[in-house]
């Protein structure tokens, strides 16, 4: 099916930290072609971008959200909590963008994936309060502390499901995917210590599960150039956005030709 003929389009956005600004670039390309999603599902940064999109925020407002949200701030350091940064300190920043703090207030349905650390399973949030599920979905361990919701501790959705395509399959007739969790080829010098090794193994595991599902989408982008941008490097925001926009334009140009 051609994307222009789709009755209901689903947009799936992966986790991947600052590289997730490529999702915003893709959304800009979608809008320029006069298209819009009807349903959104996302993990981690994909859930945050998806929420801003579902909230009706402009491209400029989406980018501003990530530019003004501090990743490492001394006053946000966690005390008596697992993790270096207290994730719940971000609540007030999120409240400025989502003042009603509710899935119901969004302009389109949104699925937010988080990981239930106690049961060891994925959890999808689609109704009720919005901000805490968003914080939980993006709580990248071990940097950010888990978020407590109804007595359960939740963390980054990417741990269990970094590309939650399956939640849109029965709702849409066309799925557009964006995967920014890239695992490009490394050199031996890039694996010098235990942290680099652990990061590489985790990255490969996440990439393997996302990559397979990505190729089941009707259309997708997976820009390999994003590998050059650090997951928590805020200096890469504009570059990742531009990469996503360029790939989005190119993909849509071919699809609509």
Query: pLDDT tens digits, residue range 62-82?
Result: 999 999 887 654 445 555 676
- For residue 155, CA distances in Å to 122, 142, 211, 221 come to 10, 10, 22, 26
pLDDT at 199 over 80: no
pTM: 0.91
pLDDT of amino acid 75? 47
Q: What is the mean pLDDT of residues 23-40?
A: 97
Total Cβ atoms within 10 A of residue 176: 26
Res 1 pLDDT > 90: no
CATH, domain range 9-256: 3.40.1090.10
Active site residue ranges: 44, 156
> Token pair of 209, please?
């599960």
How high is the pLDDT of residue 71? 61
> Average pLDDT in the 16-29 region?
96
> Which segment of 56-60, 66-70, 84-88, 160-164 scores lowest on mean pLDDT?
84-88
* pLDDT score, position 80: 62
Mean residue pLDDT of the chain comes to: 90
- Give the model's pLDDT for residue 134: 97
Res 37 pLDDT > 60:
yes
Q: Are 230 and 18 in contact (CB under 8 A)?
A: yes
pLDDT for residue 107 is more than 70: yes
- What is the rounded (10 degree) CA torsion for 51, 55, 58, 61? -60
- pLDDT-wise least confident of 79-88, 89-98, 215-224: 79-88
């Amino acid at each position: 099916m051609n994307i222009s003929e789709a009755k209901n389009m689903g947009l799936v956005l992966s986790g991947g930290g600052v590289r997730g600004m490529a999702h915003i670039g893709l959304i800009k390309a979608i809008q320029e072609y006069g298209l819009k999603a009807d349903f959104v599902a996302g993990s981690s940064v994909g859930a945050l971008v998806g929420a801003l999109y579902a909230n009706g925020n402009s491209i400029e407002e989406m980018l501003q959200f990530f530019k003004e949200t501090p990743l490492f701030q001394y006053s946000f350091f966690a005390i008596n909590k697992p993790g270096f940064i207290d994730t719940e300190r971000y609540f007030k920043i999120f409240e400025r963008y989502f003042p009603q703090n509710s899935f119901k207030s969004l302009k389109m349905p949104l699925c937010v994936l988080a990981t239930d650390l106690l049961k060891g399973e994925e959890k999808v949030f689609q109704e009720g309060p919005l901000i805490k599920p968003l914080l939980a979905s993006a709580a990248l361990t071990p940097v950010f502390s888990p978020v407590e919701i109804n007595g359960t501790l939740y963390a980054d959705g990417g741990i269990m499901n970094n590309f939650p395509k399956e939640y849109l399959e029965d709702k849409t007739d066309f799925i557009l995917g964006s995967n920014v969790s890239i695992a490009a080829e490394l050199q031996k010098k890039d694996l010098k210590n235990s942290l680099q090794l652990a990061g590489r193994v985790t990255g490969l595991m996440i990439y393997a599960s996302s990559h397979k599902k990505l190729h089941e989408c009707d259309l997708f982008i997976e820009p390999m150039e994003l590998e050059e941008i650090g997951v928590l490097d805020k200096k890469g925001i504009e570059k990742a956005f531009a990469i996503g926009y360029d790939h989005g334009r190119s993909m849509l140009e071919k699809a609509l030709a």
